[in-house]
């Protein structure tokens, strides 16, 4: 159970779950600037710089990991590992959307879109519509910031400003969503911020709204041991103080640790989908981004990237 969440909590881009979108954008910005980058997100740095937190700007420093290494070599490996994870995750779901587009799908829904910039940075086929669902203040910040820098979406983009705990299917339909045509759904960086019953309800609604041939991609919620979570908390607290990041690294406190949540691929298979999963550590190894840590990472603590097609 998360220690910082309540059933009716809300946020903007600088607080609570909203701030994690800035963290992820900072990771995308860092990856984009690598010579061997797996992704290209020219908007990530802009979105981080304008967020007003000042906290995640630290991660935009190309020498950040080197500075951490001066204090704790193992911690530097962990930060490098985290950055690589974000790069591999983004790369995986970018490829998922490319395959969906090649299959002729022209309707896309990004659940809890945060600072996701795919509506702007991916090359969408003509006639593609992207619906982004998130808290009103988060969507407002992204649209205003990118517009101020002259960015234009590469697909028809519709904001659906609503909390996923509310009647988002109604809001989605009112925004123009057509449940009779195939849709490509994405739940990235979302499930860990939902309790188990809310995860099930989310997929029930997605299933109801999905025409045959629809596709779904999701990042599952990993489960860490209590000892591992506490060790990581203590280590991150030290670096948060050192780099004036406050409680920003206490992201785990925003997540729901629920070992009884359904296996996403199994749930989908039992509800009319053909589903398969790729474990994130395997993807990191495949792309030569798996950092060798002094302690073997807990496999269950890392997500599986699930893709599915509605039968």
Give residue-wise pLDDT tens across range 71-113. Answer: 677 777 877 888 999 999 999 999 999 999 999 999 999 999 9
275-291 pLDDT tens trace: 999 999 999 999 999 98
Mean pLDDT throughout 67-71?
68
The residues with which 185 forms a beta bridge, in sequence order, are 109, 216
The whole-number pLDDT of residue 58 equals: 64
Of the chain, the percentage scoring pLDDT greater than 70 comes to 78
Distance of CA 259 to the CA centre of its chain: 20
The pLDDT value recorded for residue 68 is 66
Least confident of 4-18, 68-82, 208-222: 4-18
Strand ranges in 166-258 using DSSP code E only, listed in sequence order = 184-187, 215-219
Nearest alpha carbon to residue 155 among 211, 107, 104, 102:
107
Residue 188 sits at φ, ψ, to 5 deg, of -110, 130
- Asked if the 17-310 domain carries CATH number 3.10.20.30, the reply is no
pLDDT range class, residue 252, cuts 50, 70, 90: low
Question: Who wins on pLDDT, 158 or 249?
Answer: 158
The residue extents of the domains of the chain are 17-310
Q: Can you give the pLDDT at residue 223?
A: 78
Q: Any residues with CB less than 8 A from the CB of 65 and at least 6 apart, and which?
A: 76, 79, 80, 83
Residue labelled with tokens 């099930």: 200
């Amino acid at each position: 159970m998360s220690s910082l969440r309540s059933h009716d909590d809300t946020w903007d881009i600088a607080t609570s779950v909203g701030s994690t979108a800035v963290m992820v954008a900072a990771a995308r910005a860092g990856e984009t600037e690598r010579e061997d980058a797996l992704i290209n997100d020219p908007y990530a740095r802009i979105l981080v710089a304008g967020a007003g937190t000042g906290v995640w700007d630290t991660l935009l420093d190309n020498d950040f990991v080197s500075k951490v290494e001066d204090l704790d070599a193992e911690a530097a490996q962990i930060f490098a590992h985290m950055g690589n994870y974000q790069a591999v995750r983004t790369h995986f779901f970018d490829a998922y959307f490319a395959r969906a587009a090649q299959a002729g799908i022209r309707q896309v829904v990004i659940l809890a879109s945060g600072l996701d910039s795919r509506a702007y940075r991916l090359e969408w086929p003509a006639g593609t519509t992207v619906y982004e669902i998130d808290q009103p203040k988060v969507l407002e910040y992204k649209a205003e910031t990118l517009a101020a820098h002259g960015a234009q979406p590469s697909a028809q983009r519709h904001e659906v400003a609503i909390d996923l705990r509310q009647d988002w299917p109604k809001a989605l339909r009112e925004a123009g969503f057509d449940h009779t045509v195939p849709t490509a759904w994405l739940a990235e960086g979302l499930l860990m911020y939902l309790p188990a019953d809310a995860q099930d309800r989310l997929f029930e609604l997605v299933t109801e709204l999905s025409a045959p041939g629809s596709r779904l991609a999701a990042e599952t919620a990993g489960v860490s041991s209590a000892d591992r979570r506490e060790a990581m908390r203590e280590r991150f607290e030290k670096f948060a103080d050192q780099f004036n990041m406050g409680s920003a690294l206490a992201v785990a406190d925003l997540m729901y640790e629920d070992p009884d949540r359904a296996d996403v691929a199994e749930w989908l298979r039992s509800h009319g989908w053909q589903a398969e999963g790729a474990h994130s550590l395997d993807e990191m190894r495949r792309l030569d981004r798996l950092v060798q840590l002094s302690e073997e990472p807990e496999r269950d603590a890392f997500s599986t990237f699930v893709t599915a097609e509605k039968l």
